[in-house]
Amino acid sequence: MNPLPTYDELPTPTVLVDRARLAANIRGMQAACDAHGVELRPHIKTHKMVAVARQQLTAGARGLTCAKLGEAEAMLPSGVRSLFVAHSLVDPRQASRISALIEQLDELRLAVTSEEHTEVFLRLAALTGKKLSVMMAIDTGLGREGVRDLAAVGRIAAALGRSPHAELRGFYAHEGSLYGVPPAEQAARVEETIARVCAARDGIDRSLPVWPGCSVSARLVAAASRGRVQAVRPGTYVFGDIALAKLTGTMRADEVALHVLATVVDKPASGLALIDAGSKALFSDRTAANIFAIAADGRELSVVRVSEEHGWVRGADVDALRVGERLLFMPAHVCPVVNLTDEVVVTEGGRVVDVWRVEARGRVR
């Protein structure tokens, strides 16, 4: 095995994970769920790493959530026994992969996301020759997947009930629309979410579990659950980003556990510095104010534009930067940043302590 590089030897751009902050984020979310008797089933789309999944499971996570079968397959070495693939699967060629996953797990849950989807999903289910455990998605304002008109819930449940290849095992929601809701209004929106998913569930079978809960809402959902919610599935909370630390007030900036180390490579004009991290390192997601990343050390420095290998840095502290200087940036949206790198460098107290592979990087099928 190659010896670990020192911090100063790291090439840039490099994705750094702060081990202590990551561990604190994992512990904190688990404790918030445990305190209210709600299961934590974290979404792995943010970290895509077996090393992180293992820590979540060791801390008490009941299972993992994935978007794609490829992510689920990549997480098997974590020792996970219960997986939920929260996506609208339709491809008949995926039947054998679903069967193989079921054989390697105690429990695999799949999603149905509308009447139209259910019809096609049931054809895929029949090809597996198995009885699939199914969670029904309810739209709670994001306007993506999930039943919009609750009148359809009964028809979907009936279609599942008629099939020998599916069994309705619960309801879920992804309230990603909370990312645009000010902190003061989040609790009210969470209550609406819980009420809506429970209303859908209550018309079918009150004993079925309800699983809402993204990173903005998970703690609020757990606190408001009062026996109505059985699990939450936050993902981004493990690392955090501008969205969670600056916009939604979900965590503090000094809890953010992932940064991109970049080098100032030029200062072409007053008020502007260029760094060697562009859309291929920081990704192209930005805040509503057009910020792609900010300096992690509190200096007033924002990446305001990216091309593939350059970031444009502006802000009050930009003229004090030196060409060749290295600094840490907090990305606007962390999940796609991880998906751009083969491995992350793990640090503790400013020292490099490990390197982790991103096993599910690019596993979008």
Ligand X SMILES: Cc1ncc(COP(=O)(O)O)c(C=O)c1O
Residues that bind ligand X (CB under 6 A): 43, 65, 86, 174, 176, 214-216, 233-236
Q: Cα separation of 361 and 79, whole Å?
A: 19
Q: How far is the CB of 189 from ligand X (least distance, A)?
A: 14
Question: Per-residue DSSP letters for 149-215?
Answer: STHHHHHHHHHHHH-TTEEEEEEE---GGGGGS-HHHHHHHHHHHHHHHHHHHHTT-TTS-EE---T
| Number of alpha carbons in the 13 Å side-chain half-sphere of residue 312 | 12
Give Cα 93 distance to the centre of its chain.
26
Q: How far is the CB of 212 from ligand X (least distance, A)?
A: 9
Q: Cα separation of 294 and 315, whole Å?
A: 10
Q: How many CB atoms lie within 10 A of CB 205?
A: 11
Q: Are strands 311-314 and 293-295 parallel, antiparallel or unpaired?
A: unpaired
Partnered with residue 231 across adjacent β-strands are 39
> Closer CB to ligand X, residue 240 or residue 278?
240
Q: How far is the CB of 333 from ligand X (least distance, A)?
A: 9
Q: How many helices (H) and strands (E) does the chain have?
A: 11, 17
Could you tell me the two tokens for 43? 């979404």
Q: How far is the CB of 236 from ligand X (least distance, A)?
A: 4
Residue 217 Ramachandran class (φ > 0 left, ψ -120 to 50 alpha, else beta)? alpha
> Closer CB to ligand X, residue 44 or residue 318?
44
SS3 for 333? coil
Q: How far is the CB of 175 from ligand X (least distance, A)?
A: 8
Place of tokens 């996953």: 101
Task: Find the residue with minimal CB distance to ligand X.
Answer: 214
> Closer CB to ligand X, residue 14 or residue 88?
88
Q: How far is the CB of 45 from ligand X (least distance, A)?
A: 6
Q: How far is the CB of 122 from ligand X (least distance, A)?
A: 21
Helices 19-34 and 50-59: crossing angle in degrees, nearest 10, is 40
SS3 for 321? coil
> Closer CB to ligand X, residue 21 or residue 233?
233
> Closer CB to ligand X, residue 181 or residue 275?
181
> Closer CB to ligand X, residue 140 or residue 215?
215
> Closer CB to ligand X, residue 233 or residue 363?
233
Q: How far is the CB of 201 from ligand X (least distance, A)?
A: 17
Q: How far is the CB of 113 from ligand X (least distance, A)?
A: 10
> Closer CB to ligand X, residue 12 or residue 339?
339
3-state helix, strand, coil in the chain (%, to 5): 35, 25, 40
> Closer CB to ligand X, residue 113 or residue 163?
113
